[in-house]
Chain A
Amino acid sequence: MDLHELTIDRAKDLLSSGQISSTELTRCMLDRIEAHDGKVGAFITVDTDGALAAAAAADKRLARNARNARNEDAPLLGIPISLKDLVCTRGLRTTCASKILEDFVPAYDATAVDLLRKAGAVIVGKTNMDEFGMGSSTENSGFHITRNPWNLDCVPGGSSGGSAAAVAGGMCMASLGTDTGGSIRQPASHCGVVGLKPSYGRVSRFGLVAYASSLDQIGPITRTVKDAALVMNVIAGHDPKDSTSAAIPHTTDTAIDPSTSRLDFTRACSEFHDRGLAGMTAGIPREYIGMKGLDPEVEHSFKEACKVLEGLGVKFREISLAHTDYAVAAYYVLASSEASANLARFDGVRYGFRAEDCEDLLDMYQESRSRGFGSEVKRRIIMGTYALSSGYYDEYYGRASRVRTLIMADFARAFEQCDIVVSPVTPTPAFEIGEKVADPVTMCLADIFTLSANMAGTPGLSIPSALSSKGLPMGLQILGRRFDEMSVLKAGYGFEQSRLELPGMPKF
């Protein structure tokens, strides 16, 4: 097996026993980036020197640690990862894929990044995305597009398209993405990798450049469910610097590791091996069945995936998410509104692009923002400004917010009858580059299965289920009660262990 085909779980063993070094592993990733990223475009910034320095430090530490110890004080020691360029990295350019931040270098690490560094991870670079997280294809990047490693004429999805492509293409062993309306789950599905959007509040948003503060979450993109659990063990937890982060571990008692009182998400995997999925009930939303625009192959692969879960003992039940028809519209209003407020800070005053030769302050604001932001970002700021403006606030933002309450109630009712909710991740496999860019409404409709989870704050896992007849990956989505990542990961892990084997990685 080639180094880049290793899972994190396996690599940890090989690193601990000294069979491989972090430097070898990191060099492998850097070589693959050099060889393939010209075609794929997954990265905005590659930090070769930083990565090799971190790998060398990891190797020193590995040599000092007991052999075969799995280094539980630094659980990702020596593992090369990438980060979506929406997450602040101290001393390493962070652009949010926007010209307005093209030269911005943060003075601090996001909490999630700090935790990864403390866990010994090696950061190879920052990945491409739709500008400020706005988009579903990574075509809205201010710099370049990213291509799907499974088919270079197709999009990788978005907004975490670079992260998903980097993991799928074996250019890093995991990536941090972010998810506001599906931006981890959808690109993970399109690129045939695993993506987890944690419950709202599970992972600190400190240092995450905010798109929609009540919807955003950072989460792992990996090639296996267990690897996602390993990353979650590092990044999840309360952070006093993020007042929306959950203050207590929030889980069923059996999952708390008594020696550290931190959650061990890999228990979801061991629990599956001990007890399977017997006793678990899965709900299928009746509003999702026969949804307009659902590709027949996606529908078929979803039904096959449900059969696999059924074979593992999961009971199925039809449930209702009655306000499904309003979800995309509500999301769009809420996300645009919050974004218009969050992006007001990019004004050329303290950081980022400042237009020169401006007549006055207003001119400076307008020129800096207009030249710095891309068209999708401008469009959403305009929409958000309208929805929040005097006279329209109740009609748009107020109404959308009340619909959100109804959607949250739908999920609460559903989870009285089932433990997980399953669905396809997207209505179709990845579309071709350029196919949907002209139509913002259609692009948004593609998020119909994912965005409700952001509004309800529930965790969501995207896991590869099959390849389409054109060789494009399709995924199964598993949603759970808020803070019940354990059930979601357990069902996902069970599915992963039991489904038909999929072609591992795309060949370039």
Chain B
Amino acid sequence: MRISSKDVEHLALLARMNVDESELDRLAVQVNDILDYIDVLKEADVEGVSLASGAALGVNVFRQDEVKPSPGPAATLANAPERSDDFYLVPRIVDRNQQ
């Protein structure tokens, strides 16, 4: 297998997700199946071919750096799971011991 269950666990961590022990093996098999299929891309001759970046579909757009009206704190924080006035409340980020 190209990707082990450990690798899937690591990828999940990178993506800020947990995967249940019981799910890890099955997910690894599925991911490997998909990677096997995607291998077909190796047969394409991409020598000298550029990336199809956004430039292929449009041009970059600029605007003046001017403040425009925005919804404001009440609307913006309306879906906040936890808030305090105009701030989102989150679990402590910096360990007390590190300060």
Residue positions of A touching B, CB distance < 8 A: 103-105, 107-108, 200-201, 214, 240, 243-244, 246-247, 323, 325-326, 328-330, 332-333, 340, 344, 347-354, 358-367, 369-370, 373, 375, 378-379, 381-383, 385-386, 389, 396, 398-406, 408, 440-441, 455, 457
Contacts and interface: CB of A to CB of B under 8 A. Distances in A.
A440 B76 CA distance: 37
Contacts of A240: 63
Given A107-B78, A332-B34, A405 B16 contact: no
A363 B14 CA distance: 13
Contact of B92 (A328, A340, A361, A402): A361
Given A333-B41, A349-B90, 19 more contacts: A108-B71, A108-B75, A201-B57, A240-B63, A244-B54, A329-B38, A330-B41, A347-B16, A349-B81, A358-B91, A366-B16, A367-B18, A382-B11, A386-B35, A398-B51, A405-B50, A408-B56, A441-B34, A455-B52
Contact of A351 (B57, B60, B80, B92): B80
Given A326-B40, A408-B56, A441-B34, A402 B11 contact: no
Interface in B44-68: 44, 46, 49-54, 56-58, 60-61, 63
Interface residues of B, number: 53
Contacts of B93: 361
A389 B3 CA distance: 13
A343 to B, nearest CB: 9
Given A107-B71, A408-B56, A379 B30 contact: yes
Contact of B17 (A325, A370, A457): A370
Contacts of A440: 30, 33-34
Contacts of A362: 16
A4 B38 CA distance: 45
Interface of B: 3, 8, 11-19, 23, 27, 30-31, 33-35, 37-44, 46, 49-54, 56-58, 60-61, 63, 71, 75-82, 88, 90-93
Contact of A386 (B31, B46, B49, B82): B31
Contacts of B15: 340, 344, 369, 381-382, 385
Given A360-B91, A401-B52, A402-B50, A329 B78 contact: no
A286 B17 CA distance: 43
A386 B35 CA distance: 10
A424 B39 CA distance: 26
Question: DSSP majority for the A interface?
Answer: helix
Contacts, number: 160
B91 A364 contact: yes
Q: List the 3 closest pairs (A to B, CB-CB), nearest first.
A: A354-B81, A351-B79, A404-B52
Given A107-B71, A370-B19, A457-B57, A332 B52 contact: no
B69 to A, nearest CB: 12
A105 B79 contact: yes
Contacts of B8: 382
A408 B49 CA distance: 12
Is chain B's binding surface mostly helix, strand, loop or mixed? loop
Given A329-B40, A350-B88, A402-B50, A244 B57 contact: yes
Contacts of B63: 240
Given A404-B52, A408-B56, A441-B34, A399 B41 contact: yes
13 contacts: A105-B78, A107-B71, A244-B57, A326-B43, A328-B37, A351-B81, A354-B82, A359-B91, A360-B91, A364-B90, A383-B31, A402-B44, A455-B52
B51 A381 contact: no
B16 A244 contact: no
A382 B26 CA distance: 13
A383 B17 CA distance: 13
A378 B13 CA distance: 12
A378 B17 contact: yes
Contacts of B61: 243, 247
A441 B51 contact: no
B91 A408 contact: no
Contacts of A244: 54, 57-58
B17 A366 contact: yes
A350 B56 contact: no
A105 to B, nearest CB: 7
